[in-house]
Structure 1
Amino acid sequence: MIDKTWRSAAEAVADIPDGASLAVGGFGLSGNPIALIEALLAQGTSDLSIVSNNCGVDDWGLGILLNAKRIRKMTSSYVGENKEFERQFLSGELELELTPQGTLAEKLRAGGSGIAAFYTQTGVGTQVAEGGLPRRYAADGGIAVASRVKDVRSFDVSGAPRDYVLEEAIVTDYALVHALKGDRHGNLVFNKAARNFNPLAAMAGRVCIAQVEELVDPGELEADSIHLPGIYVHRIVEVGSDIEKRIERRTVSVAQAAAREMPEGA
């Protein structure tokens, strides 16, 4: 029996060195592997290159690594919820490879599936394919590093030739993910929308570290309910169901807002 459990998040991430590349699950603040992120922050790992849909917010998720100046480069599809991210990027402190969301998902999946690259219509006719997108700014506000030109080819797959841009797969040194349940073999079950980028990030990491709210013995998970097989997971840590979970913006309907403002007994 292969038991992949580790005693703590700190022990599970202890060998992640400075300069490592990481694929990190989550979408907004949903499904963030926060215990693993906090453990990485506590041990002082720096100069990280991180692939994740976004970079959390200023005081949560990957944002806590960003605030501590631990991230050298982000590969993301959305960066609009983090003021410190904006500041570091525009001041030349942070490199950003902005990638269309579906393309980012497929680059991670391809990396985990042994596919070196793929062609997609997304980005054709834009700077995604033609190059020139700022990836790092200089101190004087000029562009220090720009995205490169990508290969574009025409394929006839639907009765009419169309252009497609070549996108290379992503493989990282490590992956950090969050799941609802996992067994000691590393099989994972995700909870609804918290599934998001987590399986794809897990696939892309050469070493995948998963935090789970509930750890069970092999055989307790229904085979058809498993979202990610344990072949992709190398370390698993139980963090409990009471782990703090945040949302970016709490909103309520007009009717709910009115009900809250109504005096008691009215």
Structure 2
Amino acid sequence: MNSSANAGADACAKATTKSSRPNFISYIPQNSAQAFARISQTHRVEYDNHFSRLLMHRPDTPTGESLIMSSEFLAEQAKKFSRLHSLDDEGCARDRKEGAAIFLRLNDRERLELVASMIEAWACDLPLNRPMISGALRHAWDSEPYIGVGRRGSYVSAVARSPGGEEWTMQEFVEDWGPDLMTPDENDQLNAMEFPLTVYRGGVGKFEELADGVSWTSSFEIASFYANTWPESWGNMGQPLILSMTIELEDVAAFLNDRKEEELLIPEARFMHKSMRIVGHEQASVATA
């Protein structure tokens, strides 16, 4: 974590009693059954309690409403999402599928709280079953929660804007989790792409706000949809804006195409302002940072 995460260190320690817990990361770097066996049962129970506390005692939920998840459900998640992931590809695929199934059976409010708790556990360096959490987070990235009068972004972006979101950045999240969000087929598609590649990002608002975003697409039509059709459908009448830039493979953390949007996650886009152009207007111009 960088300085933005360090700024939330006190809150993180308060939520997890991090200063008194054992460093589980040092026990599980090889993800081996032998290494995991060295962790005492007391420590495993302690870790389950840490994750359960994150789920049950966040100071504010992203929706500002009380939780409705039962204590039995919370205990189940603490066990599953913190267990050692499988060593083989088939087992990892099962873990990923199970994480997705847990997410999909929840309602909007429960999904938001589960995502917030998983991300907080990650921000606090707690060990997690990455295939299982990536299965849940992929759906959290691809789908939109209903908040107030409409749908707003993804579950992940909603959590980023909620209390506790200051402990991590979207750039850090994408850099660390982006590769895990991809399916094997999407990874193959990314590696088969020809670079340099022109990508686009559409939305409404100021250049700086849009340019810092991590979500881009290789399709101008998709960018235009997010600059025009999508905001209008929710009553956002701000100024449409479409940006473009040319990238290399090393700029991309992930390629996601489950929604056929040819989405490329670019964590360092905020440092690439000078290479971006404003497109989609009568007079295309070079954007300045």
- TM-score category of the 2 structures, normalised to the smaller one: under 0.3
Greater fraction strand: 1
Q: Quick check: which one's helix share is greater?
A: 2
Give me the TM-score of the superposition, normalised by structure 2. 0.23
TM-score (norm 1): 0.24
Larger relative contact order, structure 1 or 2 (CA cutoff 8 Å, min sep 6): 1
